[in-house]
Chain A
Amino acid sequence: MSQPEPQATASETGSRRTDAKASWSETLGSLGPIVGLVMLCIVGTLLNGDFATPDNLMNVLTRTAFIGIIAVGMCFVIILGGIDLSVGSMAALIAGCVIMFMNWAGPALGSPLLAVLLGAGLAVLLGAGFGLIHGLLISKGRIEPFIVTLGTLGIFRAYLTYFADGGALTLSNNLADLYAPVYYGSALGVPVPVWVFLLVALVGALILNKTAYGRYVQAIGSNETVARYAAVDVDRIKILTYMLLGTCVGIATLLYVPRLGSASPTTGLLWELEAIASVIVGGAALKGGSGSIVGTVIGAILLSVISNILNLTSIISVYLNAAVQGFVIITVAFLQKGRR
């Protein structure tokens, strides 16, 4: 659904037969994650009847929401040809800052509700701000995204550890109770985080496929030099894209904080790899240029489903859980190799 323009142009100029063949293999390839997910769900249901219950499916979707929302932002960055290794640490630091702010603002402002609302705003602002710093360093500072975000990965987590004094930052009880429905509440039988996830994914898909900005992101990822000659303001697009990812991290953190009401230095460990894996399993190319939001969403759900199934059964040695996840990721990537 979001093939970059240069490729699309190439297939248009091809003969009708190769055109049909290409689109057939492409369709098969793009079905990889869906085929993988359906197969996993069948396996899950066979292994444990409780897998297919609405409660369990909602649990899985809700816990996917954090990584999924971050992965939507990550999808843009990867299509742009960039990477962000810091999102897990960033989420942890934002969670810590928001908790500290709310704990201070609750008594100081005299209104817990106001404290929670301002804290929520702060999360998104902080995310966008961190993204802006990344974007500036990468575009204006001309430093590799891998290096910039590898640096901030350490910086963000170290500051959280410092603020938490090596322990955990915990939201005071009255605020936690007020804030809890954001994670635990539901509308029309669907938990709030799932609605937010859906909304972020929809908006993400619209931006990627229907706006000029979205086309520029794909163009830069396909060939940055050509995009520059085509008068695309590459620096501005890059900064905006990292800010978009930061905003997504902020939104994910908003949903994360009410779940446990605390942030510790282990919060968000390895989320960056889960988010990147979701995008790649969902069919994006790590070198940039192509990728889709729908694929990313399916990729994220697929990763959660694996660990859910492993928890619902005990046929495989617990020591091998990570191996099972690795096998499934590689298999799904293989199923859709036609796209790369």
Chain B
Amino acid sequence: MNRRNVLKSTIAALAFSAALPAFAADPVNLGVSIPAATHSFMGGINYWANQAKKDLEAAHKDLKITIRTAANATEQANQLQDLSSVNKINALVVFPFESAALTRPVANVKAKGAYVTVVDRGLTDTAAQDAYVAGDNTAFGKIPAEYIAKTLGGKGNVVALRGIPTTLDTERMDAFTGVLKAYPDIKLLDAKFANWNRDDAFKVTQDFLTRFKEIDAFWAADDDMAFGAMRAIEQAGRKDIKLIFGGAGAKDMVKVILDGSDPRIGANVSYSPKFIYDAIKLTAEARLKGEKLPATTIIPSVLIDKANAKDFYYADSPF
């Protein structure tokens, strides 16, 4: 062990002991409220939430985590009530089904004294939360646009497959078109909703291929849609498409980048459901120390390419 490493571990040890509270903090009874696993991304959210429960409960004996999954906003509101009154939680990590509908129920939990961390889909009134942890939707739209523009050399035809009409999707699309404004020779032929769904993406892509004879790049703003689009492109036997850019870093897609097995897929943008794990961990550890989180924590969306793909490949996750 060289001197620098010794120094490093000493600092780490010091930092660790400094972090220990002088007095024993109260046990943390943490509730986690998330949408049910109805599509791949939410499957990932569920996986990572359970993973956090497993890891953190093993690491901290004063921590208890209760996870509730809801199929819709109403069910989630009921579960929040139960978490508060039956489970008597004193901290909450919530991934709201809808922003507006869940604001009141979350505010009620906070009013009863629980510390509230909101994840991803925000609330309409931020007074109802203590902290906010989210992925970076602007970067989710910006990074693909920059990559496509650069790879095409600033000239070409692009089509886009959007998700479900929501503010989150609009934010991504605005960021995407915002970047393209700087490249007058890149033409966004059209953008249609394919609802983050493989089947819909297949149909929309078929119709795009019928309509446009020259397409250089596809931006399918989610990997599920990218898979559907690729099948339609294969079926049509189109060779003009040089680039397919998905999103969110699904493990199968990251594998393709890692293996370099498809020249059209060179990159992706991270928007990992793992941020629920980070949110639970940050909240639990801060509360165990009696501390607060920063008001807003943005988990950055970064470009995934061959160089860093292995850091984004989670073989066990369903997503």
Contact = CB atoms under 8 A, between A and B. Distances in A.
B211 interface: yes
B227 A260 contact: yes
Given A262-B198, A264-B39, A170 B190 contact: no
B109 to A, nearest CB: 25
B17 interface: no
A216 to B, nearest CB: 36
A5 interface: no
A53 B198 CA distance: 25
The 4 lowest CB-CB distance pairs between A and B, nearest first, are: A166-B43, A166-B37, A167-B318, A311-B207
18 contacts: A50-B210, A63-B203, A63-B206, A161-B36, A166-B44, A166-B47, A167-B319, A170-B252, A260-B198, A264-B224, A266-B196, A269-B197, A307-B203, A311-B204, A311-B207, A318-B192, A319-B165, A321-B193
Contact of B44 (A50, A59, A167, A260): A167
A164 B44 CA distance: 11
Contact of B231 (A63, A259, A267, A319): A259
Which of B36, B46, B199, B224 lies at the interface centre, i.e. has the most chain A CB atoms within 10 A of its CB? B199
Interface in B36-67: 36-40, 42-44, 46-47
B132 interface: no
Nearest to A161: B37
B210 A266 contact: no
Contacts of A267: 198-199
A56 B165 CA distance: 26
Contact of A166 (B40, B197, B208, B252): B40
Contacts of B198: 260, 262, 264, 266-267
A260 B165 contact: no
Contacts of B208: 311
A56 B210 contact: yes
Given A166-B46, A260-B227, A265 B39 contact: yes
A265 B224 CA distance: 12
Contacts of B231: 259-260
B247 interface: no
A168 interface: yes
Interface string A251-274: 000000001101011110100000
A312 B47 contact: no
Contacts of B199: 260, 266-267
Contacts of B206: 59, 63
Nearest to B235: A184
Nearest to A165: B318
Given A166-B46, A266-B38, A260 B207 contact: no
Contacts of A63: 202-203, 206
Interface in B223-279: 224, 227-228, 231, 235, 252
A308 interface: yes
Q: Which of B47, B207, B211, B252 has the most CB of A within 10 A?
A: B207
Contacts of A164: 43, 318
Interface of A: 48, 50, 53, 55-56, 59, 63, 157, 161, 164-168, 170, 184, 259-260, 262, 264-267, 269, 307-308, 311-312, 314, 318-319, 321
Contacts of B228: 260
Given A260-B227, A262-B198, A266-B39, A318 B191 contact: yes
A53 B210 CA distance: 9
A319 B166 CA distance: 10
Contacts of A170: 252
Contacts of B227: 260, 262
Contacts of B191: 318
Given A56-B210, A165-B47, A318 B40 contact: no
A236 B134 CA distance: 56
A308 B207 contact: yes
Interface string B11-42: 00000000000000000000000001111101
B42 A166 contact: yes
B70 to A, nearest CB: 13
B315 to A, nearest CB: 12
A184 B231 CA distance: 10
Nearest to A313: B211
Interface string B178-195: 000000000000111100
A264 B40 contact: yes
Contacts of A318: 162, 165, 191-193
A311 B192 contact: yes
Contact of A311 (B203, B317, B319): B203
B211 A312 contact: yes
A50 B206 CA distance: 12
B255 to A, nearest CB: 12
Interface in B293-319: 317-319
Contact of A55 (B39, B204, B210): B210
Nearest to B236: A55
A266 B204 CA distance: 16
A165 B224 CA distance: 16
Q: Which of B38, B47, B208 lies at the interface centre, i.e. has the most chain A CB atoms within 10 A of its CB?
A: B38
Nearest to B203: A63
A314 B210 contact: no
A213 to B, nearest CB: 33
A161 B38 contact: yes
A57 B252 CA distance: 33
Nearest to B205: A311
